[in-house]
A and B are shown apart, each in its own frame.
Chain A
């Protein structure tokens, strides 16, 4: 059974840092690009970043470029999101999502349940 489980969310002050993890099971993790999508409270979905299956290439939304870093450890089947210099507007549920291919711009055929990041003083 395919599973994605995010962890690492919580409350942090503006300017602080958090590291999210997403642990995968049930599929060949290294064969698929992975993505982080976020959803601010009561709002829609926003693509944040993605990483190719090999981890060689990464892409970021302008809103997080220079502050967030995506990485993956294929041996541990785990995706990471290092978030630095957090702002109030980063408050959201963060979902990891499995892409349908190892690279390229596509859609997501499975999502984790999400982890809440709350940035507040």
Chain B
């Protein structure tokens, strides 16, 4: 199974900050990576797929990049509604696996 490791596990930031979350796969996954946002008590919501493709309706302050086994989610200017937990997910190989999550908290 492909292991997905996210860092940091949590971070504190202020509204307007630029935030970057890292997701590292245990092997190369050829951009077969999705990012989800999960607000407390809610279902995950798809943000990006194909490592860098923005899902429809997702604000452009969210962006993704990466290659091989290392991927990054960046929020260019943190908004109040962005305080949530973010998960990466690889779909290169079965079984589908998720990172452990990164909780973005208000400083």
Q: Which candidate, B18-26, B37-45, B74-82, is the interface stretch facing chain A?
A: B37-45
Interface size class of B (residues with CB under 8 A): 20 to 34
* Residues of A17-66 whose CB lies within 8 A of B: 35, 37, 44-47, 59, 61-62
Q: Is B49 an interface residue (CB 8 A)?
A: yes
- Chain A residue numbers with a CB within 8 Å of B97 are 47
**Dominant secondary structure at the B interface:** loop
Q: State whether B44 touches A109 (Cβ < 8 A).
A: no
- Chain A residue numbers with a CB within 8 Å of B93 are 105
Known: A95-B43, A109-B55. A46 touches B91 (CB 8 A): no
Known: A105-B91, A107-B34. A45 touches B43 (CB 8 A): no
Residues of B within 8 A of A (CB): 34, 36, 42-46, 49, 55, 87, 89, 91-101
In the complex, the 5 A-B pairs of residues with the closest C-beta atoms, listed nearest first: A107-B34, A111-B43, A45-B98, A47-B96, A44-B101
Could you list 16 further interchain pairs (A-B, Cβ under 8 angstroms) beyond the known A95-B44, A110-B46? A37-B44, A44-B101, A45-B36, A46-B98, A47-B95, A59-B95, A95-B43, A100-B49, A105-B93, A106-B91, A107-B89, A108-B34, A109-B46, A111-B44, A112-B43, A113-B43
